[in-house]
Amino acid sequence: MTGKLGLDPALVARARELARRAGQPVVDLARSHTTVSVERAVLRLAGVTGADPDGIPWVNRLVDAVVADVGLGHGVAVPVFDALAREQIADVTLLAQKAAAGSVRFAQPTGKAATAARKAARRAVGAGVRQIDRRRAERDRLVKRYGDPRQRPWIYLIVATGDIYEDIPQAQAAARAGADIIAVIRSTGQSLLDYVPEGATREGFAGTYATQENFRLMRAALDESSKELGRYVRLTNYASGLCMPEMATLAGLERLDMMLNDSMYGILFRDINPIRTFVDQRFSRQVHARAGIIINTGEDNYLTTADAVEEAHTVTVSQLLNEYFAHEAGLADWQLGLGHAFEINPDLPESFRLELAHALLARELFPDAPLKWMPPTKHMTGDVFRGNLLDGFFNLVGAMTGQGILLVGMMTEAVVTPWLSDRDIALQNVRYVLGAAGGLHEDFVPAPGGFIQQRAHRVLGEAIDLLERIGDQSLLTAIAEGTFGIMKRPADRGKGLDGVAEHEADYYNPATEILEGDRP
């Protein structure tokens, strides 16, 4: 038996093996399929930029034109670079513009023409990957120059005005007040757009549109704050929805530090087709691995729709699956911000002890991962005094169990969009608890055989039982039956299915070739 919970190492190893068994068929599916967003990400790495007068990105126009002529299953890189050579066009964005006008046709070349197109595609995409490498090296230099926050957990705070030029001063004010990570919440509904908007945006709904220019503006602003404060301030956005691979690519190019990226969130809560999601997720995580980006997974969302006690084991199962998918894509443990949340009904007897058990179980199952600990939302009522107290208890659990990333809870959470003053009070709460009890995890040891240990063992056992059932029936079937978050999502339905294709025999993706070939 090991750790504060006395977990059986054999059972923990069994849980990981079952997660691998459940996840491997999904990985095989992802490796044998592509999507329009994967192919658009490839062309973004190759240099396609900009949008047409209607705001539709040229990369969308180019992929649509290729698919119309030769289909999706070959990949778009070879037809595109073959057309560049045939038409004697030097710029891939110009090719996209001509394709949108109907003046270029695409074909799947063979022989020497195919070989030449592959080489040209790899050179162009390789230049984009090298830019991501440079941005990662730049982050490393800035962290060395300015330093990291002095303590864990890192304090994670959200801005979400809809206007990037309003977000920036709010983010800088939050950093001055103690936030270590700024998350720019994405505009409601953007996950269902099958394109990435272009340019800086000033109108969003409950959030700000995620665009490359908005990424660039916020990163530059937080670099100013890092210099001012003498600590590197990290930036978070979203690699989820129908454009997950493109978001990951743009984040790498603009040196974002964290991205929301969960294996099943889009399936369960946005009704995006499961196959589309798993294919997009694998490519996006390969890019995250290369860019040195920490992913944040979304298990906390399950507990907003399902009971946080009865379904606690589904969180553990999802964490184990997210870990497997992440490792397979090349992510290291330090990049796994696995999610969980303080969402047990506070009126339930022993709710605080249950929260401790669940949080400590996650901490001990994933000792090298910077777990992302999420505040209460489901049971916030609008009573701001009670809400602030709940957030204090949430912060205390984070301190007692050594969480890595603590999302600042606010007393108006899930009731109204918090005011700046709400954020300031919430940060005071965090600073007090971490200042007074930040090292308490060194002293806190649950009683051997007591309530907390027994509860953790029970959740792990239920997680193993569920993983065994998933392995017998398949993960896609389990998702279709509503196993996670009580959402039923069949594999043959959902948004984005028409943008998925099985690989043809001559499928070629230079980005995947580079990202997989350069792995240690």
pLDDT at 151: 80
Torsion (CA) 433, 436, 439, 444 in degrees, nearest 10: -80
pLDDT for 21 beyond 60? yes
Q: Which of 211, 238, 265 is the last residue of a domain?
A: 238
Please check whether residues 113 and 155 belong to one and the same domain: no
Sole residue written with tokens 């272009």 = 198
% of the chain residues with pLDDT over 70:
99
Please check whether residues 46 and 99 belong to one and the same domain: yes
300 catalytic? Reply is yes
Cα dihedral across residues 321, 324, 329, 331: positive or negative: positive
Q: Is residue 222 part of a domain?
A: yes
Cβ 245 vs Cβ 499: under 8 Å: no
Q: Is residue 321 part of a domain?
A: no
CB-based contacts of 472, cutoff 8 Å, min separation 6: none
pLDDT for 484 beyond 90? no
Give the residue numbers spanning the domain of 102: 33-126
Banded model confidence at residue 519, pLDDT cuts 50, 70, 90? low
Please check whether residues 108 and 189 belong to one and the same domain: no
- Tell me what the mean pLDDT of segment 397-425 comes to: 87
Q: Is residue 80 part of a domain?
A: yes
% of the chain residues with pLDDT over 90:
88
pLDDT at 520: 44
Please check whether residues 79 and 157 belong to one and the same domain: no
Question: Which residues on adjacent β-strands are paired with residue 296?
Answer: 260, 337
Q: Is residue 415 part of a domain?
A: no
- The beta strands (E) that lie in 334-392 are given as 336-337, 339-341, 372-374
- Tell me what the mean pLDDT of segment 418-422 comes to: 81
pLDDT at 518: 63
pLDDT at 517: 87
3-class SS shares of the chain: helix, strand, coil, % to 5: 55, 10, 35
Please check whether residues 105 and 166 belong to one and the same domain: no
- Residue with the bigger pLDDT between 380 and 418: it is 380
- Tell me what the mean pLDDT of segment 369-397 comes to: 94
pLDDT at 52: 96
Q: Is residue 185 part of a domain?
A: yes
- The beta strands (E) that lie in 44-178 are given as 154-159
For residue range 444-472, list pLDDT tens digits in order. 999 999 999 999 999 999 999 999 999 98
Instruction: Provide the mean pLDDT of the chain.
Output: 95
pTM of the predicted protein model: 0.95
Q: Is residue 274 part of a domain?
A: no
- Tell me what the mean pLDDT of segment 77-93 comes to: 96
232 catalytic? Reply is no
Q: Which of 238, 263, 287 is the last residue of a domain?
A: 238
Q: Which of 167, 209, 372, 422 is catalytic?
A: 372
pLDDT at 382: 87
Cβ 120 vs Cβ 83: under 8 Å: no
Of 325, 269, 271, 276, which Cα lies nearest the Cα of 302? 269
For residue range 101-149, list pLDDT tens digits in order. 999 999 999 999 999 999 999 999 999 999 999 999 999 999 999 999 8
Q: Which of 110, 126, 142 is the last residue of a domain?
A: 126
- The beta strands (E) that lie in 111-267 are given as 154-159, 181-184, 234-238, 258-260
For residue range 275-333, list pLDDT tens digits in order. 999 999 999 999 999 999 999 998 887 777 788 999 999 999 999 999 999 999 999 99
- Residue with the bigger pLDDT between 22 and 411: it is 22
Banded model confidence at residue 341, pLDDT cuts 50, 70, 90? very high
Please check whether residues 113 and 157 belong to one and the same domain: no
156 catalytic? Reply is no
For residue range 365-375, list pLDDT tens digits in order. 999 999 999 99
- Tell me what the mean pLDDT of segment 243-264 comes to: 96
Helices (H), 401-450: 420-437
Banded model confidence at residue 58, pLDDT cuts 50, 70, 90? very high
Task: Give me the number of domains the chain comprises.
Answer: 2
Q: Is residue 167 part of a domain?
A: yes
Please check whether residues 172 and 212 belong to one and the same domain: yes
Of 190, 241, 49, 47, which Cα lies nearest the Cα of 131? 47
Structure tokens at 470: 């998933």
Q: Which of 262, 280, 300, 391 is catalytic?
A: 300
Q: Is residue 514 part of a domain?
A: no
Banded model confidence at residue 249, pLDDT cuts 50, 70, 90? very high
Q: Which of 238, 265, 324, 508 is catalytic?
A: 265
Torsion region of 294: left, alpha or beta (phi above 0 gives left; psi -120 to 50 gives alpha): beta
